[in-house]
Amino acid sequence: MAADLNPDWLACLPSSWSYGVTRDGRVFFINEEAKSTAWLHPGTGEAVVTGHRKTPDLPTGWEEGYTFEGARCFINHNERKVTCKHPVSGQPSQDNCIFVVNEQEADHSGPGDGSHPCPTKTTKPAAKAPATEKKERPTSTMSEASNYTGGSNYTGGSDYAAHPGSPAARPSRSSKKVHNFGKRSNSIKRNPNAPVVRSNWLYKQVPSPDREVVMVMLILRSSDGPAGSRCTLSEK
């Protein structure tokens, strides 16, 4: 435990620097001379605890993050910006094929910055097959999508008031499972005329992990389902 009490990054702080810890557990560094703060460690040039991830393929001072909806993005702590392009390959992440990543609301660049905003990337959606063809989906791009939409959290009372097709009450857990299938079927049928919000709702319900989560919940009470990503259409 001694190593834990004195993390390595503490030992090599330059003399005019100290560190702070936010109320939610993130670590930042304080330059007492310049009266500034940064997420990056002044010696290593890397972030320590920010809630994002450092992956081996990223340069110094970069981290991988995700939008609220689950699209992958890259955080450039050196210039304090967020981008959807991988800093080495220059390409948007393949994981983002189910999203259109719009950078219009990214932070403004400083003067003289030659970087360009990411072009809007549009990918054709995977063809939605009728029910009889559902079994073939796991081998297609839907398996990627399932990582992002995940299942719903079933531990609390579910509130489906936003979706007019859902009944208000469900008597037991087993009927919850049955109802879940029914809801998905209704969502699929309604899609042609549904507004965007409902389309996103449909999207969340399609992936197979949903079914898996339900089964897990029936077996082991102590687990929660995975948190799903909420697809929200931003309005200007």
How many residues contact another protein, by CB under 8 A? 98
Examine residue 141 and tell whether it contacts another protein (CB under 8 A).
no
Considering the complex, what minimum distance in angstroms separates the CB of residue 165 from another protein?
16
Q: Which residues in 208-227 contact another protein (CB under 8 A)?
A: 209, 212-213, 216, 220-227
Torsion of CA 214, 219, 220, 223, to 10 degrees: -10
Tell me the two tokens of residue 98. Answer: 């189910």
Given candidates 58, 183, 187, 203, which one binds another protein under the rule CB under 8 A?
203
Q: Which residues contact 3 (CB under 8 A, 6 or more apart)?
A: none
Which residue matches tokens 């992990």?
209
Given candidates 58, 63, 75, 180, which one binds another protein under the rule CB under 8 A?
75
List the x/- string, 150-189, binding to another protein by CB under 8 A: xxxx-xxxxx----------------------------xx
CB-CB contact of 115 with 84 (8 Å) = no
Given candidates 16, 60, 115, 122, which one binds another protein under the rule CB under 8 A?
122
Q: Give the integer Cα–Cα distance in Å for 42 and 18.
A: 10
Given candidates 24, 112, 114, 132, which one binds another protein under the rule CB under 8 A?
24
Q: Which residues in 30-69 contact another protein (CB under 8 A)?
A: 30-32, 35-39, 49, 51, 65-69
E strand or H helix at 213: helix 209-219
Q: By C-beta, is 155 or 174 nearer to another protein? A: 155
Examine residue 9 and tell whether it contacts another protein (CB under 8 A).
no
Distance of alpha carbon 197 from its chain centroid, rounded? 18
Please list the residues that pair with 76 across neighbouring strands: 62, 81
CB-CB contact of 135 with 121 (8 Å) = no
